[in-house]
Chain A
Amino acid sequence: MIVVNDIHKSFGKVRAVRGVSFDAPDGKITGLLGPNGAGKSTTLRVLYTVLKPDQGSAKIDGIDVVGDALKARKRIGALPHGAGLYPHLTARENIAYYATLCGIEKSRVESRVESIVDLLEIADFADRRTKGFSQGQRTKVALARALVHDPQNIILDEPSNGLDVMATRSLRKLILRLKDDGRCILFSSHVMQEVAALCDDIVIISNGMVAIDDSADGIRKRTGCDDLEDAFVAAIETVEAD
């Protein structure tokens, strides 16, 4: 469960996020939707504690991300935008490295890596060094790495970027499976269709503010547009008009 309460974040003169609030409940997929530069990544970075908000607060399962970052991180599996692997290590070694860092006991690391390799169906290339992996393979390994400590909350920043159709489908399947496990999934995207197909809740962000926070149907109703893409554009325009 992720609760975001009025967070602000500026970089110098640029006000990247100016008052974003929303909830991402357990057992649901929440989509953060917005055009490039809307403040999606900044919001997510605050949530997985690599940035500190200038104002406002966020709680992961009731743990404050600023006050108790280390504890909050234990409950988060984060896949940052364009997350990279270590090219000289095999996929399995990459995952095992994170498992050990997350404090999984040495005797259990191997079995834990094995189960995550199965979950993500990456056994075919798990023992190869990650140098030269395709974007799809890289994303899967990075995701496996993020899930290795079995986090309740999963934050994915544009996970489907650069993936082909097959890879996107298997990613979608995985996200749905994690949802059925009762986890809280928050992911960002700038692709309307993807968000509409997956998410229970959609938070549309524009210009660092929340334009609309509702289900896909709710958004259609409130904007008066049948087509979600039109609804997306309409929602963004209401913010930009302010």
Chain B
Amino acid sequence: MRILLTVFIKEIVDNLRDRRTLASALIMGPLFGPMLFAFVINLSIERSLSTGDETLDLPVIGQQHAPNLMRYLESNNIRVVDGPVDRDAAVAAVKAGTHDVVVLVTEDFGAQLRDGSPAKIEVFADHANSQAERDARRAQRALSGYSRELASMRLVARGVSPLVMRPINIDAVDVSTPSGRSAIMLGMMSYFFIFAVLMGGMYLAIDSTAGERERGSLEPLLALPVTRDQLMLGKIAATCVFMAVSLLLSLCSFYVALKFMPLQELGMTPNFGPAVVIAAFFVLAPFILLGASLMTLVASFTKSYKEAQTWLSVVLVAPTLPIMIVSILTLRPQIEFMFVPSLSQHLLLVDMIKNEPVNMLHVAISVSSTLAIGTILSWICARLYRREGLLG
């Protein structure tokens, strides 16, 4: 135990003096995640809030053929502007991206309306471009609005109530709560926490294995009258502490960052108060042991610092896999998922943010299975240090 403690303290001191380790543990993980997250969220909020009330400049060819329609568009916050000269020019302009959407009113528009035959309007847009797609949808909505208005007027002129056109009145009721809505967006937060955990210990895991070998300090260490299990466990314990600090910092920085995000404007109020911060720490804490031993294990197999870095960046991404698969397949949380590390932490965290009651059985399974896998991995690490091939 004394050996373990000695190794532990030495690794902590050694790495506290290493700027790179410190930067990745205390800055990269905890600050980079929330900052990136806040930036992306703010950007998407700004965009989704702005498009509704901004005036859309819509180039229309053949405005003179449909003056009433033009007035209707203007009243719908769409400013009609002069566009390309003809159909070919319109297609070219949309393709080239000079205009997102172009509307073409044919010469026969007026005559067709008078005859009561469907009058033709073309809308050109590149649907592969999300901004253009949004504008095109807005233009189309306005045009169909005009179409419906004309239809009602025709019915009234024939003495029929326009209500015959609406046999069903559809009313969609959204039952989601503001906390629930925020879970969709904040679901990705859990990955940032897992990332912060792994990032916090990454350089320590490399330094204590591949780094130690590269420096040539591993061989004399192994020649000391100390069992290798103790060396290994001391190193893993030090990695765990760095990871825990990184996690705690990132939870706190998220707590602060959320205050600066205008989520309420999107009708979201994430349940992420101090109590949830503390609960989240304990739900995520078992992942620390797993992360530390996994990173140490992978780094032990590598021959150099560089190689270890390469492999560990793969490990950084790996925990997203189960989260992504489940969210792409939109699977409902099941008890089986609680056996999967990273996924179980993600699901529990989402429940907390949604302010839904957390199933204690789920917590128990998540904690014990993640801890069990972490313990097995640490044991493998210790076994690995008994191999002589370790010296490389």
Asked if A and B are interacting partners, one says: yes
Chain B positions within 8 Å of A79 at CB level? 220
A109 to B110, CA, bound (A): 101
Chain A positions within 8 Å of B2 at CB level? 100, 103
Chain A positions within 8 Å of B7 at CB level? 101
Question: When the two chains form their complex, are residues A80 and B14 in contact, meaning their CB atoms are under 8 A apart?
Answer: no
Chain A positions within 8 Å of B219 at CB level? 45, 50, 80, 83
Across chains A and B, which 10 residue pairs bring their CB atoms closest together, nearest first?
Answer: A84-B216, A84-B215, A88-B17, A73-B225, A80-B219, A84-B217, A78-B223, A74-B225, A48-B223, A100-B6
- Which residue of chain B has its CB nearest to the CB of A80? B219
Chain B positions within 8 Å of A85 at CB level? 215, 217
B265 beta carbon closer than 8 Å to chain A: no
- Give per-residue flags for B203-231: 1 if the beta carbon is below 8 A from chain A beta carbons, else 0: 00000000000011101111111110000
B107 beta carbon closer than 8 Å to chain A: no
B154 beta carbon closer than 8 Å to chain A: no
B3 beta carbon closer than 8 Å to chain A: yes
A123 beta carbon closer than 8 Å to chain B: no
Chain B positions within 8 Å of A8 at CB level? none
Residue numbers of A with Cβ under 8 A of B are 45, 48-52, 70-71, 73-74, 76, 78-80, 82-89, 93, 97-98, 100-103, 129, 142, 145-146, 149
Question: When the two chains form their complex, are residues B220 and A101 in contact, meaning their CB atoms are under 8 A apart?
Answer: no
| B6 in complex: contacting residue of A70, A73, A97, CB < 8 Å | A97
What bracket does the count of chain B residues touching chain A fall in? 20 to 34
B356 beta carbon closer than 8 Å to chain A: no
Question: When the two chains form their complex, are residues B225 and A80 in contact, meaning their CB atoms are under 8 A apart?
Answer: no
Chain B positions within 8 Å of A89 at CB level? 10, 13-14, 17
Q: A84-B217, A85-B217 are in contact. Are A103 and B225 (CB under 8 A)?
A: yes
A21 to B388, CA, bound (A): 22
- Count, A-B residue pairs, CB within 8 A: 76
Question: When the two chains form their complex, are residues A97 and B220 in contact, meaning their CB atoms are under 8 A apart?
Answer: no
A sample of 17 cross-chain residue pairs with beta-carbon separation below 8 angstroms, ordered by A number, consists of A45-B219, A45-B391, A50-B219, A51-B391, A70-B227, A76-B223, A78-B223, A80-B219, A83-B216, A86-B10, A87-B215, A89-B14, A100-B2, A101-B7, A101-B221, A101-B224, A102-B224
A58 to B392, CA, bound (A): 23
Q: A48-B223, A98-B224, A101-B224 are in contact. Are A80 and B216 (CB under 8 A)?
A: yes
A100 to B216, CA, bound (A): 20
What's the least CB distance linking A184 to chain B, in Å? 16
- Which residue of chain A has its CB nearest to the CB of B231? A101
| A101 in complex: contacting residue of B3, B15, B17, B216, CB < 8 Å | B3
Question: When the two chains form their complex, are residues A50 and B6 in contact, meaning their CB atoms are under 8 A apart?
Answer: no
A78 to B217, CA, bound (A): 12
Prevailing SS type, chain B contact patch: helix
Chain B positions within 8 Å of A102 at CB level? 224-226
Question: When the two chains form their complex, are residues B222 and A101 in contact, meaning their CB atoms are under 8 A apart?
Answer: no
What's the least CB distance linking B335 to chain A, in Å? 46
Chain B positions within 8 Å of A83 at CB level? 216-217, 219-220
| A86 in complex: contacting residue of B3, B14, B225, CB < 8 Å | B14
B86 beta carbon closer than 8 Å to chain A: no
A49 to B17, CA, bound (A): 32
Chain A positions within 8 Å of B217 at CB level? 83-86
B18 beta carbon closer than 8 Å to chain A: yes
A103 to B2, CA, bound (A): 9
What's the least CB distance linking A178 to chain B, in Å? 17
Q: A78-B220, A87-B215, A89-B13 are in contact. Are A50 and B225 (CB under 8 A)?
A: no
Question: When the two chains form their complex, are residues B223 and A50 in contact, meaning their CB atoms are under 8 A apart?
Answer: yes
What's the least CB distance linking B69 to chain A, in Å? 75
- Which residue of chain B has its CB nearest to the CB of A83? B220
Chain B positions within 8 Å of A48 at CB level? 223
- Which residue of chain A has its CB nearest to the CB of B3? A101
| B10 in complex: contacting residue of A80, A97, A103, CB < 8 Å | A97
11 additional A-B pairs beyond A50-B391, A85-B217, beta carbons within 8 Å, are A50-B223, A70-B226, A73-B226, A83-B216, A88-B17, A89-B10, A89-B17, A101-B221, A101-B224, A103-B225, A142-B220
What's the least CB distance linking B332 to chain A, in Å? 49
Chain A positions within 8 Å of B388 at CB level? 50-52
A205 to B227, CA, bound (A): 32
Chain A positions within 8 Å of B222 at CB level? 50
| A82 in complex: contacting residue of B15, B17, B216, CB < 8 Å | B216
Q: Which B residues, 74 to 129, have Cβ-Cβ distances below 8 Å to chain A?
A: none
Question: When the two chains form their complex, are residues A88 and B6 in contact, meaning their CB atoms are under 8 A apart?
Answer: no
Chain A positions within 8 Å of B391 at CB level? 45, 50-51
What's the least CB distance linking B387 to chain A, in Å? 10
| A73 in complex: contacting residue of B3, B17, B18, B224, CB < 8 Å | B224
What's the least CB distance linking B303 to chain A, in Å? 15
Question: When the two chains form their complex, are residues B223 and A49 in contact, meaning their CB atoms are under 8 A apart?
Answer: yes
Q: A52-B388, A89-B10, A101-B6 are in contact. Are A73 and B223 (CB under 8 A)?
A: yes
A103 to B10, CA, bound (A): 15
- Which residue of chain A has its CB nearest to the CB of B11? A86
A98 to B224, CA, bound (A): 8
A52 to B219, CA, bound (A): 14
Chain B positions within 8 Å of A146 at CB level? 220
